[in-house]
Amino acid sequence: MLGLGATGLKSNFVTLRHPYKLNFAITYWCQSRCVHCNIWQIRPKGELTLDEIREFARKNAYFKWIELTGGEPFLRGDIVEIARAFKENSKGLYILTMPTNSLCNTEMEIGKIKQILELGIPRVAITVSLDGYRELHDRIRGVPGNFDKAMQMFRRLRELRKSYPNLFFVFGYTMIKQNEGQFFRTFEGVKKEIPDIRYNDFHINLGQTSENYYHTSDSSIKVNGSELAAVEIRELLKKREFEIGVIPKIEEIFLRGLAQYAKSGKQPMRSRSMEASLFLDSWGNVYPSIMWNKVVGNIKEADFDLSRIWEGEDAKEVRKAIREGREPVQWTSCEAYQSIIGNVAAFVKVRNTIY
């Protein structure tokens, strides 16, 4: 954590030579049929091979925080080897995060998570997607029985946690028009299945449109400008238990910013895209973020050396656009956490917001 914290603090004062966070969609294959995401409609071909990912990890050995996402990342049979490649090269790797829709074979997935935990990464975090109570979640995700699969996954992760203290996991709840105002009913639905569930066991995001990631442009799913969503987030903040640590504090600031964003549609602070982080898709295209549909390079064309892209004119133009307030409006955990870490003054302002 010391290395990550020092790098994050440094990003307040200078432009980093390298990003410390990588958001990497390792595949666009997905079994879900979500109403707020079109990734499942893609039938991807020519995605990066394991050898290509290994080469990228070898030539860019400085990541401290990596998110392996999708699609459904556990549909890649080589996900353990992908995690191993980054662990063996980025010696300062502290956090590896992965979402799951829980639709893969549960025991297969748990087996792969166990192998990843045994790599020795200090913090491995799993987000179990859950967007509503039983009927609502299955309707939003388009797969009957998905709610029950998510409950099963969460229970198995609890069992695994007993043997692996580096495992962390939460439910990931995305607020969209289709579940607006239904968070606390969802919580009660989960409580019937897992009686000792806590509010801290939920991570909240707002549904967004993204041409380069979700492959969506229909803004009707968004709740930005919704007082109801803002109220739910504020109430959740009141009910969460106090936890000691940097990560819980960042999560609190994120949620406070999310409540502001839900009501106003305005970004609480500027991002650190193309400074602290980037988004890499499964074909090797580099974007500033999951919300910014601007390709700044492809790692295969750069011989897998990210510095050639990082120091290029397109990347410099992105940073200039951010400084001038011309970036797409966004507040998702994929980018917001490093924004919080790298904007201490704004961090304090949002932290002191009183509802």
pLDDT reported for residue 348: 57
3-state class (DSSP) for residue 292? strand
- pLDDT per position as a tens digit, 205-244: 999 889 999 998 777 788 777 789 999 999 999 999 989 8
CA separation for the pair 234, 269 (Å, rounded): 19
CA separation for the pair 125, 99 (Å, rounded): 8
CA-based radius of gyration for the chain:
19
- Give me the phi and psi of 237, to 5 degrees please: -60, -40
Is 60 exceeded by the pLDDT of residue 190?
yes
pLDDT reported for residue 5: 57
Average pLDDT score over the chain: 92
Residue 216 corresponds to which tokens in the numbers above?
């969506």
Opening angle at CA 174, ends 222 and 225, nearest 5: 30
pLDDT reported for residue 314: 96
Domains recognised in the chain with CATH numbers: 2-351 (3.20.20.70)
